[in-house]
């Protein structure tokens, strides 16, 4: 029996049990039946969470682009692979067929090879949400190069850190990008970033026609090269465990972690989860509103959908341009069947006049998805009632950059949904809840820290150039377990609800921000002595950032206002505008333990305005500052 598409709850439980009892057989059957391998594996899985080392489909040979493109050419050559909806609704949408996408990818692969890019080289991609972004990812994969996409909202400093850390050979960018009524000088940001790194070539896509500087011998317009390139390119033969890409994610401290995903397992996992979690049918139009700069875009705009021969929509713009009805207008225009977005977008849209969602035809929708952070009850109901008309299941999908694909989620029309619950583990996924002493909490109605007990094909294999940190961050907290950094509870029927991060990562509008790197940026300000950042609930963004800053010398409020601006300016430069602080409180000192650790727990409570629950402050070195901070709370 093929388990590629699960039809009902009974079948889910049946297949789930098999997937846990015989994981190797389970994944082998899926890999064998639904993908194109140039050579089959010698071994399905070898693993050891203590080293940690995980290998799936070892010895197999493939190229993921043959699975995403070539094999569809006969049956789906004229089917639309990508619908591109531009920022400006007046600009015509593009429909790129599988045949055209295949040609564009081959041309781009030839350009990359002509620029000296070969298997294993790192390519930095800093592009807006335009078709060239998807084409570039696939072209890298076709050549065997490792793509490193940096979200085009990140600052020049964030960009250069990532280029240097993964030692990229080349950067692919655009002259500019459109975001609503604004345009952004992407190329200028790249120029600034490259002052700190050694890059020989920059390929530039023309998008905004803005006036930019082209550095001689370094910067080249892409289009003329593509025009000259051949549309044949023999795909490079890759090992299943060869890296496909690096994608950086924030840690609670230190520099961002370059998560490394490999080829075979990632392909099988993203394709299989896509098929089941969205119940994609042959002629459906699927739309994920994420940016390809995040893992959600990698797995569920590009690889998962294309490996299934799906039609995937890419939107260049923002939800509020030209007005707050844009998402719904796009759903109506392209008759979107599966719509996948983030709670922060849902909350922002739910605040607008109902007419935006009501004066459009949303009847094409079959499945609604949510990802990125816990979805609160109010947002869930609005999404369910107003957008889903109470008849379309919401798949609240929990997963991470590190997991490569969806880990806990309802299957639509299979798993009964429950507001704010991600519900059941995906097939082959073995979650565990742990208590603080390291014991696994068995049975239902328990709450603890979420771990995964057994490998799954889509998991990241290491942190680029830092395997020790990979081990330390994910495999050292609990023995023989992958630790997610999230808290979760399991209800009376075994449904999971993710309660949020248990480490110093704050999710603001769906973006993970480690507080450590933010504090490092603030502390660079000459007037700052030290700082602590915590999250606090925010109606639309989910969380916002509250900074406690102590200064070398205390100043007047006028000075403080300027300082607030300068601090946010520093954060914008070092990390990006998304990381700006909503509130900055200047304080004489920060509450510390006797060992000198800042007591963030207390600061978090104060920021949340929950003074009743400060816990024991008597062990502090300086308990008196707590009252002072409360008195001057913003
Ligand atoms: C895919 C993605 C991962 C963190 C994760 C968790 C939070 C994601 C969630 C969710 C509750 C959901 N998260 N999905 N929390 N319910 N459905 O978002 O990856 O950017 O690496 O973030 O996001 O805290 O640990 P990434």
Most distant pair of Cα atoms in the chain: their distance: 74
- Please provide the average confidence, as pLDDT, over all residues in the chain: 94
**Average pLDDT of span 169-189:** 97
Residue range 612-632, pLDDT digits in tens: 878 777 667 788 899 999 999
Residue range 137-156, pLDDT digits in tens: 999 999 999 999 999 989 99
As for the ipTM of the complex, it is 1.00
| CB crowding 173-210: b at 16 or more within 10 Å, else e | bbbbbbbeeebbbbbebbbbbbeebebeebbbbebbeb
Give the separation between CA 82 and CA 98, rounded to whole angstroms. Answer: 8
pLDDT at 592: 84
Q: Which domains does the chain have, with CATH numbers?
A: 9-475 (3.40.50.12780), 505-631 (3.30.300.30)
401 Cβ below 6 A of ligand 1 = yes
Which residues lie closer than 8 Å to 488 by C-beta, 6 or more apart? 431, 433, 447, 448, 449, 450, 496, 497, 498, 499
Spacing, Cα 512 to ligand 1 middle (Å): 8
pLDDT at 619: 67
Backbone torsions φ then ψ of 423, nearest 5 degrees:
65, -110
The residue to mutate among 270, 371, 401, 404, having the most atoms of ligand 1 within 8 angstroms of its beta carbon, is 371
**Concatenated DSSP letters of 137-173:** HHHHHHHT-EEEE--TTS-HHHHHHHHHHTT-SEEEE
535 Cβ below 6 A of ligand 1 = no
486 Cβ below 6 A of ligand 1 = yes
pLDDT at 202: 98
Neighbours of 398 (CB within 10 A): 27
Share of the chain above pLDDT 90, in %: 85
**Concatenated DSSP letters of 521-539:** HHHTSTTEEEEEEEEEEET
Residue 269's nearest CA partner among 59, 91, 461 is 461
Spacing, Cα 434 to ligand 1 middle (Å): 19
Spacing, Cα 465 to ligand 1 middle (Å): 24
The four Cα atoms 202, 578, 373, 351 give a dihedral, to 10 degrees, of -120
Atom of ligand 1 minimally distant from the CA of 402: 21
pLDDT at 600: 85
From residue 585, give the alpha-carbon distance in Å to each of 227, 449, 582: 55, 31, 10
Atom of ligand 1 minimally distant from the CA of 501: 24
Spacing, Cα 484 to ligand 1 middle (Å): 10
**Average pLDDT of span 416-432:** 97
Spacing, Cα 409 to ligand 1 middle (Å): 12
Residue range 576-612, pLDDT digits in tens: 999 999 999 999 889 987 666 788 889 999 999 998 8
- 533 near 545, Cβ under 8 Å? yes
Residue range 489-544, pLDDT digits in tens: 999 999 999 988 888 889 999 898 988 889 989 988 999 988 999 999 999 999 99
**SS3 for 551?**
strand
Least confident range of 48-52, 248-252, 292-296:
248-252
- 478 near 434, Cβ under 8 Å? yes
Tokens 């299979």 correspond to: 414
pLDDT at 558: 66
373 Cβ below 6 A of ligand 1 = yes
Tokens (6 digits) for 251 = 């840690």
396 Cβ below 6 A of ligand 1 = yes
Give the separation between CA 531 and CA 550, rounded to whole angstroms. Answer: 6
**Average pLDDT of span 219-243:** 98
**Concatenated DSSP letters of 290-346:** S-TTSHHHIIIIIIHHHHTT-EEEEE-S-TTSSSTTHHHHHHHHHT-SEEEE-HHHH
Question: Residue 431: CA atoms inside 13 Å, Cβ hemisphere, count?
Answer: 33
pLDDT at 372: 92
Neighbours of 608 (CB within 10 A): 14
Give the separation between CA 319 and CA 328, rounded to whole angstroms. Answer: 9
The residue to mutate among 375, 399, 420, having the most atoms of ligand 1 within 8 angstroms of its beta carbon, is 399
512 Cβ below 6 A of ligand 1 = yes
298 Cβ below 6 A of ligand 1 = no
Which residue minimizes the CA distance to atom 17 of ligand 1? 398
Long-range CB contacts for residues 359-365, cutoff 8 Å, separation at least 24? 359/325, 360/325, 360/328, 360/329, 360/331, 360/332, 361/332, 362/328, 362/331, 362/332, 362/387, 362/389, 364/285, 364/331, 364/332, 364/335, 364/336, 364/337, 365/331, 365/336, 365/337, 365/338, 365/339, 365/392
pLDDT at 620: 77
| CB crowding 551-571: b at 16 or more within 10 Å, else e | beeeeeeeebeebbeebbebb
505 Cβ below 6 A of ligand 1 = no
Give the separation between CA 581 and CA 535, rounded to whole angstroms. Answer: 10
Give the separation between CA 381 and CA 349, rounded to whole angstroms. Answer: 13
pLDDT at 595: 66
Residue range 56-77, pLDDT digits in tens: 999 999 999 999 999 999 999 9
Tokens (6 digits) for 480 = 């023989």
- 581 near 549, Cβ under 8 Å? no
372 Cβ below 6 A of ligand 1 = yes
- Identify the band that residue 561 occupies on the pLDDT scale cut at 50, 70 and 90: confident
Spacing, Cα 235 to ligand 1 middle (Å): 33
Atom of ligand 1 minimally distant from the CA of 500: 24
- Is the pLDDT score of 251 beyond 80? no
Which residue minimizes the CA distance to atom 3 of ligand 1? 400
The residue to mutate among 372, 496, 506, 514, having the most atoms of ligand 1 within 8 angstroms of its beta carbon, is 372
- 620 near 626, Cβ under 8 Å? yes
| Residue bearing the bigger pLDDT, 517 or 36 | 36
Spacing, Cα 596 to ligand 1 middle (Å): 31
From residue 154, give the alpha-carbon distance in Å to each of 189, 199, 239, 327, 616: 9, 18, 32, 24, 39
């Amino acid at each position: 029996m093929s388990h590629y598409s699960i039809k009902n709850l009974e079948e889910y439980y049946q297949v789930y049990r098999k997937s846990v009892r015989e994981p190797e057989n389970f994944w082998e059957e899926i890999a064998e039946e639904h993908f194109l391998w140039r050579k089959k594996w010698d071994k399905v899985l070898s693993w050891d969470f203590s080293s940690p080392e995980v290998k799936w489909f070892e010895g197999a040979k493939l190229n993921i682009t043959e699975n995403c493109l070539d094999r569809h050419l006969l049956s789906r050559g004229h089917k639309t692979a990508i619908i591109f909806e531009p920022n400006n609704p007046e600009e015509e949408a593009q429909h790129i067929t599988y045949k055209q996408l295949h040609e564009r990818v081959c041309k781009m692969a030839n350009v990359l090879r002509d620029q000296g890019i070969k298997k294993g080289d790192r390519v930095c991609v800093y592009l807006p949400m335009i078709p060239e972004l998807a084409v570039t990812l696939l072209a890298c994969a076709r050549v065997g190069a490792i793509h490193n996409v940096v979200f085009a909202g990140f600052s020049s400093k964030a960009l250069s850190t990532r280029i240097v850390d993964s030692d990229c050979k080349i950067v692919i960018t655009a002259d500019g990008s459109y975001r609503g009524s604004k345009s952004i000088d992407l190329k200028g940001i790249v120029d600034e970033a490259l002052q700190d790194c050694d890059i020989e070539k920059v390929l530039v896509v023309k998008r905004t026609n803005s006036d930019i500087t082209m550095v001689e011998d370094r910067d080249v317009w892409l289009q003329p090269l593509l025009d000259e390139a051949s549309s044949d390119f023999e795909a490079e033969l890759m090992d299943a465990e060869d890296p496909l890409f690096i994608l950086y994610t924030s840690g609670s401290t230190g520099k961002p972690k370059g998560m490394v995903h490999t080829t075979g397992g990632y392909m099988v996992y993203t394709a299989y989860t896509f098929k089941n979690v969205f119940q994609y049918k042959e002629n459906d139009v699927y739309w994920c509103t994420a940016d390809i700069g995040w893992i959600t875009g990698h797995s569920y705009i590009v690889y998962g959908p294309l490996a299934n021969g799906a039609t995937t929509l890419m939107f260049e713009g923002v939800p509020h341009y030209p007005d707050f009805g844009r998402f719904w207008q796009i759903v109506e225009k392209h008759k979107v069947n599966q719509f996948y977005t983030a709670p922060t977008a849902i909350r922002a849209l739910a605040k607008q006049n109902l007419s935006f969602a009501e004066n459009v035809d949303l009847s094409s929708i079959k499945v609604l998805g949510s990802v990125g952070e816990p979805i609160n009850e109010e947002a869930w109901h609005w999404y369910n009632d107003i957008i889903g008309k109470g008849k379309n299941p919401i798949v609240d999908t929990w997963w991470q950059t590190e997991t490569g694909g969806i880990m806990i989620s309802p299957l639509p029309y299979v798993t009964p949904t429950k507001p704010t619950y991600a519900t059941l583990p995906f097939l082959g996924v073995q979650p565990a809840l742990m208590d603080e002493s390291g014991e696994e909490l068995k049975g239902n109605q328990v709450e603890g820290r979420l771990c995964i007990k057994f490998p799954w094909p889509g998991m990241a294999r290491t942190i680029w150039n830092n395997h020790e940190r990979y081990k330390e961050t994910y495999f050292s907290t609990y023995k023989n377990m992958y630790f997610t950094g999230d808290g979760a509870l399991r209800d009376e029927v075994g449904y999971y609800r993710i309660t949020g991060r248990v480490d110093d990562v704050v999710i603001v509008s769906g973006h993970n921000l480690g507080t450590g790197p933010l504090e490092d940026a603030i502390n660079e300000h000459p007037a700052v002595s030290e700082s602590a950042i915590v999250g606090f609930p925010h109606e639309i963004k989910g969380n916002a950032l509250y900074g406690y800053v102590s200064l070398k010398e205390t100043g007047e409020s006028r000075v403080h206002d300027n300082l607030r601006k300068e601090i946010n300016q520093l954060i914008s430069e070092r990390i990006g505008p998304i990381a700006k602080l909503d509130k900055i409180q200047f304080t004489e000192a920060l509450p510390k333990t006797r060992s000198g650790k800042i007591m963030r727990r207390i600061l978090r409570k104060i920021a949340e305005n929950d003074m009743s629950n400060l816990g024991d402050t008597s062990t502090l070195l300086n308990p008196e500052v707590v009252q002072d901070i409360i008195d001057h709370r913003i």
